Amino acid sequence: MTLRKILSHRYATKSYDRTKRIPECVFAELLEALRLSPSSVNCQPWHFIVADDEKGKARIGKSTEAAFRSNHTKIMDSSHTIVLCARTALPETFLETVLEQEQEDGRFPTEESRLMTHKVRSGFVKLHQQYGSVSAWSQKQLYIALGFLLLSAGFLKIDATPIEGFDEDLLNEELGLKEKNLTACVIVTLGYRDACDVNATLPKSRLSEEVLISRA
């Protein structure tokens, strides 16, 4: 499939065929797309929570029961659902974990380059701590991972829906996220479109290139 075809074939799926399940080897590719997503200074300020059975989906679904019923059906009929969470704090211990991983992955030819990487990353984090914008910064990075996930799903012919229509406090409570310095930002349901999903047949609508793009 060409990139253009993937971009027009994918859409926000409104109704899933609950009898179809994503093969685990394909789902593993989607998790890898999340893991390999880029972030500012490689800080990876995120965590992803997967629900691949009825119990897990019901836990996530609770946050859509009262006010977002149509999203509840999507979660329960999906093959897999993922909650994309942003870190609300980036303590030194977390930054050291990132640094150790980079060391293990062979990113540092010299001790000097290791120290410099840590200094630059910590500098960015300190700035955001000063401005009280760590959470907002993490969320910006998280939406890059969302884009990677949606495009990868399209490439793998998996249907998906990004969902912001849920009760964030309720989901944070259900998954015990606050005490882990995490907050749920967006849910993504994944699976296969139902044959009668009307949204699949609607044409795409976007503002024109003239409105959206200009040149410096």
Binding residues for ligand FMN, rule: CB under 6 A, are: 11-12, 14, 71, 161-165, 186, 204
Nearer to ligand FMN, 25 or 196 (CB): 196
Nearer to ligand FMN, 149 or 175 (CB): 149
Measured in residues, the chain has a length of 216
Q: Write down the least CB distance from residue 131 to ligand FMN, Å.
A: 24
Nearer to ligand FMN, 123 or 147 (CB): 147
The residues assigned a catalytic role are: 14, 74, 164
Nearer to ligand FMN, 17 or 117 (CB): 17
Q: Write down the least CB distance from residue 151 to ligand FMN, Å.
A: 12
Nearer to ligand FMN, 100 or 164 (CB): 164
Cα separation, 13 vs 23, in Å, equals 19
Residue 165's identity, in one-letter code, is G
The bridge status of strand 182-191 relative to strand 46-51 is: unpaired
Cα separation, 183 vs 185, in Å, equals 6
**Is the CA virtual torsion 30, 32, 35, 40 positive or negative?**
negative
Cβ atoms of 131 and 122 within 8 Å: the answer is no
Nearest residue by C-beta to ligand FMN? Answer: 165
Q: Which helix (H) or strand (E) holds 83?
A: strand 80-87
Cα separation, 14 vs 108, in Å, equals 46
Torsion of CA 61, 62, 63, 69, to 10 degrees: 70
Give the three-class secondary structure for 131.
Answer: helix
Q: Write down the least CB distance from residue 140 to ligand FMN, Å.
A: 12
